[in-house]
């Protein structure tokens, strides 16, 4: 029996995107008679005060939770201590757990975990696969949030590259990310694109009229522009805020923000300061309500800072496609998502800072229901073709069986 050990800081019942992706894949690998273990922390991304059991079997998945500090994301030193504690405790657990016949899959939370996992895989004689949801330390450097001196940053980047080069394969999320690794001299034959996904059975297209969330919020008759998920350092909200302020004269347009993150808090503070009446804020919704929360929107927003193209792909995009809704992407108009959206005709792309273009895109979709419904149909068709969990599971099984 194939035995796979995943390493990621967060896992079920955590609701963060990387946790949910891993849970989806792990469940389906178990259904394919794969023995799956997950080494993770005993904390939740959005509520670090809650401690989870150290051992648990979840739908056939063997979950090994290690103690980690829980300072949270508020301060840099706190995050660094949280990362460091997970490196230490997860390494100790992995050394006891890993066998020479295993394949260990390292995700990218905390940053640079592949360096630690690569060393342990080498000691234990296990096969290494890296699953890159983002590329650090480049992300931190581009965000101006890298506290490391240049010499240490360079050394860690070389160690990171070594951990990628020694892996049997590195799974990336798109062509731009593949190109970035190849530019770092990672052998092309050790890079495999497996795009992220959404659960197309749990998230299905439904009419806005049948959406219970809209009714509960009293916005059933509004044109709803939604953002769902994490709004963090990789994103920007100034373009959205500027556009929303201009559109605040139209009482029929509502901006629904569902999720969390550092910049979600900043956005909420800015909305309060400006006294904008056209925003609604909700926390992360339970997974069983995801389909209804995605259906609450007439159109969804996704965003990414242009300098992070090739380093991150916003995972919320796949759920939007599954829900059959158009996407307006705010970022590099020649970026990964912008190319996909434009090729499929399932939304629009506007540049960061171009609030006028965002206002125009929202206004056009508001005025033309037939056009946005056609975009929604094309979105779901694209999802069925490329982004189902079943397709991703088949690709992952092929990758794991070939290493």
In CATH, what number is assigned to the domain containing residue 231?
3.40.50.2000
Residues 153 and 185 in one domain: yes
Rounded Cα distance, 173 and 151, in Å: 29
Residue 45 confidence (pLDDT): 85
Same domain membership, residue 104 and residue 214: no
Alpha-carbon distance of 111 to 101, in angstroms, equals: 26
Give the pLDDT confidence score for residue 78 in this predicted structure: 84
Pairing of strands 299-303, 279-282: unpaired
**Model pTM?**
0.88
- How far is residue 323's CA from residue 4's CA, in Å, rounded to a whole number? 31
pLDDT at 122: 98
Are 11 and 44 in the same domain? Answer: yes
Is residue 362 within 8 Å of 240, Cβ to Cβ? no
> What Å distances lie between residue 23 and 5, 7, 53, 133, CA to CA?
13, 12, 17, 15
Phi and psi for 94 in degrees, rounded to 5?
A: -65, -35
pLDDT tens over the chain, length 403 residues: 899 999 999 999 998 878 989 999 999 999 999 999 999 999 998 788 889 999 999 999 999 999 999 887 667 778 889 999 999 999 999 999 999 999 999 999 999 999 999 999 999 999 999 999 999 999 999 988 887 889 999 999 999 999 999 999 999 999 999 999 999 999 999 999 999 999 899 999 999 999 999 999 999 999 999 999 989 989 999 999 999 999 999 999 999 999 998 899 999 999 999 999 999 999 988 888 889 999 999 999 999 999 999 999 998 999 999 999 999 999 999 999 999 999 999 999 999 999 999 999 999 999 999 999 999 999 999 999 999 999 999 999 999 999 9
Please tell me the predicted confidence (pLDDT) of residue 306: 97
Cα 294 to chain centroid distance, Å, stands at 16
Domain match, 153 and 214 both:
no
Q: Is the same domain home to 136 and 82?
A: yes
Distances (CA, A) of 365 to 56, 70, 326, 338, 368: 47, 43, 9, 17, 5
The answer to the question of residue 202 being in a domain is: no
User: Under a CB-based contact definition with an 8 Å cutoff, are residues 282 and 307 in contact?
Assistant: no
DSSP string, 132-175: -SB-TTHHHHHTT---S-HHHHHHHHHHHHHHHHTSSEEEESSH
Domain containing residue 168: 3-197+388-402
* Assigned domain for 351 exists: yes
pLDDT at 80: 87
Residue 362's SS3 state is helix
- Residue 136, pLDDT score: 93
Which secondary-structure segment (H or E) carries 241?
A: helix 238-247
Strands 169-172 and 103-106, bridge-based pairing:
unpaired
Q: Tell me, what's the pLDDT at 285?
A: 87
The residues near 356 (Cβ < 8 Å, ≥ 6 apart) are: none
What per-residue confidence (pLDDT) applies to 293?
95
Residue 78's CB is within 10 A of a number of other CB atoms, namely 15
- State whether 183 and 304 are in the same domain: no
Tokens of 128: 């290494």
- What are the φ and ψ backbone dihedral angles of 299, each rounded to 5 degrees? -150, 145
Same domain, 163 and 19: yes
179 lies in the same domain as 214: no
Task: Tell me whether residue 137 is in a domain.
Answer: yes
Q: Is residue 8 included in any domain, yes or no? A: yes
Q: Where are the beta strands (DSSP E) in 156-235?
A: 169-172, 191-193, 223-230
- Assess contact for 146 and 180: CB atoms under 8 A: no
Total domains present in the chain: 2
Residues 21 and 83 in one domain: yes
CA 186 to each of CA 158, 159, 165, 168: distance values in angstroms, whole numbers, following the listed order: 11, 12, 6, 11
Q: Are residues 165 and 82 in the same domain?
A: yes
| CA dist., res. 344 & res. 382, Å (int) | 7
How do beta strands 55-58 and 35-41 pair?
unpaired
Exposure string (b/e) for 106-137, b if CB count within 10 Å is 16 or more? bbbbbbbbbbbbbbbbeebebbbbbbbbbbbb
Report the chain's C-alpha Rg in angstroms. Answer: 21
DSSP secondary structure code for residue 189 in this structure: G
Residue 82 tokens read as 């949280």
Q: Are residues 8 and 154 in the same domain?
A: yes
């Amino acid at each position: 029996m194939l035995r796979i050990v995943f390493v990621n800081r967060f896992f079920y019942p955590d609701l963060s995107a990387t946790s949910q992706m891993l849970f989806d894949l792990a469940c389906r690998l178990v259904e394919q008679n794969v023995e799956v273990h997950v080494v993770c922390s005993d904390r939740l991304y959005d509520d670090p005060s809650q401690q989870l059991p150290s051992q648990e079997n979840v739908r056939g998945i063997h979950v090994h939770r290690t103690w980690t500090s829980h300072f949270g994301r508020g301060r840099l030193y706190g995050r660094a201590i949280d990362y460091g504690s997970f490196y230490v405790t997860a390494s100790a657990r992995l050394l006891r757990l890993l066998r020479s016949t295993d394949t260990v899959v390292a995700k990218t939370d905390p940053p640079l975990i592949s360096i630690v996992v690569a060393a342990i895989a080498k000691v234990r004689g296990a096969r290494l696969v890296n699953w890159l949801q983002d590329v650090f330390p480049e992300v931190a450097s581009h965000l101006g949030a890298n506290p490391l001196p240049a010499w240490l940053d360079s050394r860690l980047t070389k160690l990171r590259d070594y951990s990628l080069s020694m892996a049997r394969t590195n799974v990336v999320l798109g062509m731009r990310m593949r190109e970035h690794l190849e530019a770092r001299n990672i052998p092309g034959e050790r890079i495999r694109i497996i795009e992220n996904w959404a659960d197309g059975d749990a998230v299905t297209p439904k009419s806005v009229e049948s959406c219970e969330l809209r009714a509960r919020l009293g916005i059933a008759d509004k044109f709803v522009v939604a953002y769902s998920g994490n709004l963090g350092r990789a994103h920007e909200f100034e373009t959205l805020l500027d556009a929303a302020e201009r559109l605040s004269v139209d009482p029929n347009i509502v901006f629904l923000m569902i999720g969390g993150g550092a910049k979600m808090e900043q956005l909420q503070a800015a909305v309060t300061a400006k006294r904008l009446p056209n925003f609604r804020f909700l926390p992360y919704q339970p997974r069983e309500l995801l389909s209804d929360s995605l259906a609450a929107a007439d159109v969804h927003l996704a965003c990414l800072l242009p300098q992070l193209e090739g380093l991150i792909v916003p995972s919320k995009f796949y759920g939007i496609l599954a829900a059959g809704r158009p996407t307006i992407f705010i970022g590099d108009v020649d970026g990964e998502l912008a190319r996909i959206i434009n090729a499929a005709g399932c939304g629009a792309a506007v540049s960061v800072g171009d609030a006028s273009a965002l206002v125009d895109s929202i206004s056009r979709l508001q005025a033309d229901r037939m056009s946005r419904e056609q975009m929604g149909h094309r979105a779901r068709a694209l999802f069925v073709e490329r982004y189902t969990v079943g397709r991703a599971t088949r690709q992952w099984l092929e990758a794991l069986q070939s290493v």
